[in-house]
Structure 1
Amino acid sequence: MRSNFLTARRLVALGLGLSVSFGLQGAALGQYGTLKGQVVWDGAQLPQLEPKVKAGENVKDAQVCATEPIPDESLVVDPSSKGIQYCIVYLARPRGENPDLAKQLIEAEPQVVVDQQGCRFVPHVAAAHEKQQVLFKSSDPVAHNVRLQGFSNSLNFMLPANGELPRVLSPERRPMPMACDIHPWMQGFVMVFDHPFFAITDEQGNFEIEGIPAGKQNLVIWHEKVGYVTAGGARGQEVTIASGKESTLAPVKIAPSQIK
């Protein structure tokens, strides 16, 4: 977890539509806040997705790829909290900057690792700052490839067994699909940002973004089975960040009817 740059006075709950303006002047003076929230499943029944590969199935490199079931991670819902994992949460065109936050992020994690492990991408969804390397690697004793297609990045390269290859990627406007053509069930997403205000929801669907310039910002939540979850599409939905405080969104819900 990225450490906060503030001595914390915790918690004022703010809904998505609540608006209190602090303006960019406060942000320029180093006034920042934290945004927390949760993305949850709004269906009575949890989705039940069949594994992409069953144990013992006759697939390419089955001695590695079919030793155990490979789950379909396109819609991962926690049974207890109904939280949805692997949503990408970020600010669209942030108003203001936080150079210290970006520096700390890059120093703490100079590389974001995307592994090919058990014939699946780990993690299924990754996000990086443009100044972080993305290290594509394979922990498998068989060859893979990595194919990425975005607006600013187009890559397709081989990874030998237990190989690795670092790449510096350009910022993207949307998450890039990631695939291995040798094992076509292997799919995931990578998004690259030119700012540090992003997160990926955890196993309980929670996210936290610290060090956001105070004032009005536009928040985007994206999920691969829905697209843009929040209103406003790629422009985002307006939220207000309170200086020196932790703002918590009302739970963001995904209904079964939204799934594509």
Structure 2
Amino acid sequence: MSRPARLVKALAVAAATAGLTVAPAAADDFGSIKGRVVWGGSTVPGPKVLVEKGKATKDLEVCGVDGPIVSQELQIDPDSKGIADALIYLVKPSGKNPDAVKALLKASPTAELDQKDCVFIPHLVALHKDQPLLIKSSDPVGHNVRYNSFGGASLNQMLAAGGTMEVNLEPERLPFQVNCDIHPWMTANIAVFDHPFFAVTGKDGSFEIKGVPAGAQNLVVWQEKVGFVNEGRAKGMPVTVKAGSEADLGEIKLDPSKVKK
């Protein structure tokens, strides 16, 4: 028995002898991390057109019917300069929060990746390892689903019009790409974690991770066209979380010079 454990036991025995009640040890305290990922340039580039309206090389009756299909690899809101679909997560979190895992699984028992209008929706899926991933097609045409993860998971399967399939994935060190070979402009990313401390930025680039154990943590900001946005790269940047408080990181700027061509 460790020294702290012996001390707790001794105190409990002494308290019981004196007729006192010893309160159980308090649960770990938690806080939150929030911020916003934004474009660091003075001007915002327009979206990159992948398929012009009415000029799809396959399934013209479905793909690009209502307008051009644009790249989702770098989504910048022209008003706020916020960057959508950036991935935020803790590296080797210090501490656990089982209640946060339960809440996540209760709110979203299954994660979902759809194929609609010849586009993957959402472009980035982040999920816990205990969430099965439902891959489906809302299109009236067939699709192919192909991926090879860094951890060795692979899939190459046809998905019929209106079809669905479910896969279970193990945690990965980095997001990996999923493709449709029938419609080669179709790509998305999947990130799988063994903890609940992750988030995907919204249209304005904002994010918040709740229920983070108090103390020193390391946070990664990842974006498809840049990779690691944060200092420290894969090791993460240091963030101190205080119990009952939010660590507001403010604006995290994405350097335009780091965007891959």
Does the pair score TM above 0.5? Answer: yes
More off after superposition, 77-86 vs 149-158: 149-158
Q: Deviations over 1:141-166 (max 9, x none)?
A: 11101112112211111110000001
Matches within 5 A, 1:1-260: 29-67=27-65, 68-152=67-151, 153-260=153-260
For the Cα contact (< 8 Å) 1:59–1:66, is it kept in 2? Answer: no
Segments of 5+ residues of structure 2 without an aligned counterpart are 1-25
Question: For the residues of structure 1 that align with 2:104 and 2:56, how far apart are their CA atoms?
Answer: 43
Distance of 1:55 and 1:226 partners within structure 2:
28
Cα distance change on mapping 1:101 and 1:66 into 2, 3 Å: same
Cα distance in 1, alignment partners of residues 64 and 28 from structure 2 = 52
Which has more radius of gyration? 2
Count of aligned pairs between the two proteins: 233
- Would the aligned equivalents of 2:30 and 2:242 in 1 still touch at CA under 8 Å? yes
**Which structure has more RCO (C-alpha within 8 Å, separation ≥ 6)?**
1
**Counterpart secondary structure, 2:78:** coil
Offset, 1:69: 1.3
Q: Residue 110 and residue 190 in structure 1: after superposition, are their counterparts in 2 closer, same or farther (change >3 A)?
A: same
Between the aligned partners of 1:227 and 1:53, the Cα distance in structure 2 is 25
In structure 2, what is the Cα distance between the partners aligned to 1:80 and 1:135? 33
Distance 1:45 1:182 in 2: 35
- Kept in 2, the 8 Å contact 1:201–1:207? The answer is yes
Q: 1: distance between equivalents of 2:143 and 2:199? A: 27
Q: Is the 8 A contact 2:36 2:251 kept in 1?
A: yes
Closer, same or farther: CA 210–58 of 1 in aligned 2, 3 Å: closer
Q: Any gaps of 5 or more consecutive residues in structure 1? A: 1-27
Cα displacement string for residues 197-251 of structure 1 (whole angstroms, at most 9, x for unaligned residues): 0000000000000000000000000000000001112111111001111110031
Q: Aligned with 2:51: secondary structure?
A: coil
Q: 1:241 to 1:58 in 2, by over 3 A?
A: closer
Identity of aligned residues (%): 49
Do the aligned residues in 2 keep the contact of 1:55 with 1:66 (CA within 8 Å)?
Answer: yes
Cα distance in structure 2, aligned partners of 1:210 and 1:104: 11
CA distance in structure 1 between the partners assigned to 2:48 and 2:89 by the alignment: 30
Counterpart amino acid of residue 162 in structure 1 = G
CA contact (8 A) 2:34 2:250 kept: no
What's the CA shift for 1:167?
0.9
Are 1:135 and 1:167, in contact at CA under 8 Å, matched by a contact in 2? yes
Render the CA deviation track for 1:67-105: whole Å, top value 9, x for unaligned: 021121111111111110010000001010000100110
Q: Which consecutive segments of 4 or more residues in structure 1 shift more than 3 A?
A: none
Partner-residue secondary structure (3-state), 1:250:
strand
The residue identity in structure 1 corresponding to 2:64 is A
